[in-house]
Chains A and B, each alone.
Chain A
Amino acid sequence: MSVYGLTFKGIDQVKGPLVIMRGVPGAAYEEVVRIYSEDGREWFGQVLEAGRDKVVIQVLGDTEGLDSNAMVKFTGSTLKIPVSDEMLGRVFNGAGEPIDGGPKIRADDYRDINGAPINPAKRDYPDEFIETGISAIDGMLSLVRGQKLPIFSESGLPHNEVAAQVARQAIVPGKAERFSIVFAAVGLKYDDVLFFRRQFEEFGALSRSVLFLNLANDPVIERITTPRVALTAAEYLAFDLGMDVLVIITDMTNYCEALRELSSAREEVPSRKGYPGYMYSDLASIYERAGRIIGRPGSITFMPILTMPGGDLTHPIPDLTGYITEGQIFLDLDLHNRGIYPPINVLPSLSRLMKDGIGPGKTREDHKEVSDQLYAAYSQGTKARELVQIVGEAGLSPREKLYLEFARRFEREFVAQGFRERRNIEETLNIAWDILSILPEAELTRISEKTLNKFHPKRRIAAQAEGE
């Protein structure tokens, strides 16, 4: 008793992005519909509520111009996009249609844009270090192949630069192949899109990237599909074709706002700040598509960008995201204002998968301890800096002064580096030791005696002197 393939004339009500029809008893939940107006315009929609007496359809795109004379055709299928290796080097809109003037994709398969959950028992644990060449990330927030690690930023901060630098520099040491890039713009300004395009072009990545663009003036509702379409493409490249895919989606805040708008149009009971109560699960259904799968060579490493409204880490968007992703890279306005690029504040940042991606055989045996010590010392340093505001530098104890100096050098020498500067992990860790060695050894409580002996610059010099 399906209405699959049938076309109905006439709709009962249009309410924002929602279309309500009566007397279509066989509509399937989440089925895609096409709606045609009398003047020949066309919309996409999806069944949100399938009832014997009433069907509610969510329309993608602006519903202006839709009236009760429209025709509705039921397709009997959920939202799918064609996938094939021809996607590489191409540009699509948020619904997965080519917008670069090129031909249609010859589909290898059609895939549901919502994907399906990866069986937790079939995940392969991500534990391969990705060297991004950025010290703050490699040294203290190491990224691993298959991780989802977002950038938490604010408008005006160079998150695009950081993401582009990662895309340009990232390699898995020992692997010859470079990452393919799936880039999705969600509600972005054209300038930002242009920036990424130029970057990809400049480092020769355009032919191994796929772009999905939903610009600021494109339909808000397509912001809901853009990330899903992009990840569907990424899943195909990674798990069918075996590529290592780096997915960059920006700005997820625009996605969340679209979700809120939609929820309020559906008159749902809102949770915090008007965002729907299911936003956590909704975001998880996107972010959890990153990863590795047992027995398949490829991977999806996911670096979404979001801007924190008002720079507030507890705002529902960064908050729910942080509960889902495997850490976060936090960009800091204060560091940026002091001219530090990349303005990564490591203290509120985290990489949850770092522990198994570093160490002997992967990076270096002292990596974990050095990183722990840098965190502890930098946090002391920032505490001392706060104190200076109150009591002045003269009021500090000698120990506090030392930590103040540590923080200054840490920011200037370790965190700060050029947009085009690529440091390997050895270089990164060596800079760390240089700065740590200004502290007395008794302060280096997170570092074992063995590691001190082998890596502490002063001990190394002493050992050398003895040897001579």
Chain B
Amino acid sequence: MSELVYESKGIIVHIKGPVVEAEGMRGAKIREVVYVGEERLIGEIVRIEGDKAIIQVYEPTGGVKAGEPVERTGEPLSAELGPGLLGQVLDGLGRPLEVIAEKAGGPFITRGIKAPTLPRDKKWQWTPLVKPGDDVVAGDVLGTVPEGSVTHKIMLPPTIEKAKVIEVLPEGDYTIEEPVVVVEHIGGKEEVKMYHKWPVRTPRPFKEKLAPVELLVTGQRVIDTFFPIVKGGTSAVPGGFGTGKTVTLHQISKWADADVVVYVGCGERGNEMTDLLHTFPKLVDPKSGKPLLERSVLIANTSNMPVPAREASIFMGITYAEYYRDMGLHVVLTADSTSRWAEALRELSSRLEEIPSERGYPAYLPDYIASFYERAGRIKVRGRRDELGSVAVIGAVSPSGGDLNEPVTQHTMRYVGAFWALDKDLAFKRHFPSINWLRSFSKYTGGLKEWWIKNTGHDMMAYRDKAMDLLQRASSLEEVARVVGEAALSDENRLVLLSAELIKEGFLVQNAYHEVDTYCSPKKQALLLKTLLEFYDRARPIIDAGVPISRIAEMKSLGLLRRLKFVPEEEFENAVKEAIAQLEAEISSLLAEVR
């Protein structure tokens, strides 16, 4: 019996883990998506040698045999972009996990499941903004639909540069498969639906990249005040296991003042995704008043899911982020962990027998990391509208052995604007977030002075410098104290230690699980830091007057100051007044004693 073989079908000749070789693939393109074997597993062509293609398969290949077919699709790995992304939980290839569960008929993930990202049967409430006869260019808004907590703009996709509108569906409810607009361009007529596909490894176009200048408020004090990130900025969070990377990213995805959040769980724990799935529907987005889940896209490609899909998941995520950016929205993408993503690359590279560079990573690792972070930014959107959008990217880095000198951390450091170095010793003492104030940096602080003054009325960057100075002095004094003991230091120096301790306990330490402390507004941050700095300013003169440090350390007001952060925003100003009044009273009585 002979079988009709399509020209586009190849034959598997070798299988080794996720890497499959197929022959009869002439004409196939690099990065083309293919279906591998009888079960039609999803794969991507990563190398072409004559009529042979090397394929990276995104699903487990157990049971696949030489001789089975490979089907070509002619398309690169793409993201589906349109209404229906928000609130979804997707795997690294953009398949909704709920649909996978349905099709698999149980809680375990099986192979060969095809599930489109966007729901096909859901109807969206379409409001057209163009009419027949209008000239439109790529990026122009054709109409809108409400989606979750945003107004989703249906734009002329980047693939159509210029066109004339011929037909428009009237206001009403439609699925994404219905052509809401028909346009005519040089190539002829084209139907425009509410969604289109975009290759995930290609950045989406924009008019112009602008310098990012606006603080991305995260509500995390040590970040906003000491090592801020801006809308459209980039940041890396490196740290050994248990230092707080994931909690930091969770906090940001909960509290950041963004319109849309894309959370990519890449090669990490299943229960951490479950945690988000449990909390996001319950937490309310202060901006829209809707559940947080409705402004979020979650990608879960956990550590036990196929490794190659980790590699894809980050590009999938950044493509979603760019799409919402193009609507003129502010987007935050958090990726936990970019190290697992780089390791997936290393694994593929080693299976392809490429020459390894540092620690087995391929020599092109830096370009690869750059290709991700460079898709962040604040931009002018395309189309004839004067709108800005941004994508901020925050990536966790999991250095092996906690050693920040390894290649992924080092290369990442070169491309990010902020660097939050997590510190094992701080984590061991439960000083969280364990962001080390001496080893972290943010290149954005310079531009934010005005922002703080305008938004809080405080010159926060000046407070920051003052606090930083105290912390640095304390750190060198601690070195000395480690050798001679604290008791051997002068009272003046011990006051520096005490004041720095107050800033650490009272400001830097922030408990993600405390109902008040979990979020701190910029206004509260400013007033809190100002108040804590006053302790040093007021105690300093009385040391000169001869009050012993031991008496100062016993002051009741110190306890009040240390716990000020737990006071809710509404009561905060009053609590500050009380604490300062008590501090003043205690200081006068101490002074009276020595006089």
Contact = CB atoms under 8 A, between A and B. Distances in A.
Contact of B66 (A25, A116, A327, A352): A25
A9 interface: no
Interface in A293-332: 293-296, 314-316, 319-320, 322-324, 326-328
Given A323-B241, A397-B485, A399-B553, A269 B15 contact: no
B300 interface: yes
Contact of A281 (B21, B265, B307, B556): B307
A227 to B, nearest CB: 14
Nearest to B399: A319
Interface string B264-287: 010101110111011000000000
A280 to B, nearest CB: 7
A26 interface: yes
A392 to B, nearest CB: 8
A1 B12 CA distance: 12
Contacts of A36: none
A288 B300 contact: no
A353 B269 CA distance: 12
A124 interface: yes
A52 B485 contact: no
B343 interface: yes
B304 A442 contact: no
A284 interface: yes
A319 B304 contact: no
A272 B400 contact: yes
A285 interface: yes
B90 to A, nearest CB: 10
A169 to B, nearest CB: 24
Interface string B94-111: 000110110010011110
Measured as residues with beta carbon below 8 angstroms from the partner, the interface class of chain B is 35 or more
B548 to A, nearest CB: 12
A295 B66 CA distance: 40
B130 to A, nearest CB: 38
Given A29-B15, A281-B303, A375-B430, A125 B559 contact: no
A117 B303 CA distance: 9
Contact of A120 (B67, B302, B483, B559): B302
B132 interface: no
B271 A51 contact: no
Contacts of A448: 563, 566
A125 B241 contact: no
A272 B401 contact: yes
B541 interface: no
B300 A445 contact: no
A391 B267 contact: no
B403 interface: yes
Contacts of A280: 267, 303, 340, 343
Nearest to A372: B430
Contacts of A31: 62-63
A291 interface: yes
Contacts of B540: none
Given A29-B61, A397-B487, A281 B267 contact: yes
Interface string A361-405: 000000010001001100100000011001100011111100000
A124 B274 contact: yes
B486 A397 contact: yes
A322 B398 CA distance: 11
Interface in B66-92: 66-67, 89
Contact of B550 (A52, A350, A398): A398
A278 interface: yes
B454 interface: no
B66 A50 contact: yes
Contact of B300 (A120, A125, A295): A120
A28 interface: yes
Interface string B1-43: 0000000000001111100010000000000000000000000
Nearest to B346: A277
A439 to B, nearest CB: 12
Given A271-B359, A284-B303, A119 B108 contact: yes
Contact of A118 (B13, B278, B304, B340): B304
Contacts of B356: 269
A207 interface: no
B489 to A, nearest CB: 9
Contacts of B278: 125
Nearest to A328: B242
Contacts of B98: 121
B65 A120 contact: no
Contacts of A269: 350, 356, 360
Contact of B487 (A315, A396, A441): A396
A452 B508 CA distance: 23
A445 B562 contact: yes
A10 interface: no
Contacts of B300: 120-121
B271 A126 contact: yes
Interface in B449-501: 481-488
B569 interface: no
Contacts of A118: 107-109, 270, 304
B299 to A, nearest CB: 10
Contacts of B513: 355, 368
A326 B101 contact: no
Contacts of B65: 1-2, 26-29, 50
Interface in A177-229: none
B554 A442 contact: yes
Contacts of B277: 120-121
A117 B302 contact: yes
Nearest to A322: B241
B350 A123 contact: no
B429 interface: yes
B505 interface: yes
Nearest to B302: A120
A84 interface: no
A376 B430 contact: yes
Contacts of A319: 240-241, 400-402
A405 to B, nearest CB: 16
A438 interface: no
B304 A119 contact: no
A449 interface: yes
B101 A122 contact: yes
A441 B101 CA distance: 53
A141 B327 CA distance: 46
Contact of B107 (A281, A296, A324): A296
A48 interface: yes
A51 B65 CA distance: 8
Nearest to A350: B242
B347 interface: yes
Contacts of B101: 119, 121-122
A280 B408 CA distance: 16
Given A123-B270, A125-B275, A319-B241, A51 B403 contact: no
A396 B484 CA distance: 9
A320 B107 CA distance: 26
Nearest to B100: A119
A30 B108 contact: no
B414 to A, nearest CB: 23
Nearest to A77: B63
B258 interface: no
A397 B488 CA distance: 9
Interface core residue of A268, A288, A294, A375 (most chain B CB under 10 Å)? A288
A116 B566 CA distance: 45
Given A48-B16, A280-B303, 5 more contacts: A51-B13, A116-B108, A119-B100, A314-B240, A386-B482
23 contacts: A26-B66, A28-B63, A28-B65, A29-B65, A50-B65, A118-B107, A120-B265, A121-B273, A122-B101, A123-B274, A125-B275, A277-B350, A278-B347, A280-B340, A281-B307, A293-B107, A314-B240, A375-B430, A379-B430, A387-B486, A390-B482, A442-B556, A448-B563
7 smallest CB-CB distances across A and B, nearest first, come from A284-B303, A122-B107, A30-B62, A288-B304, A395-B485, A121-B97, A314-B401
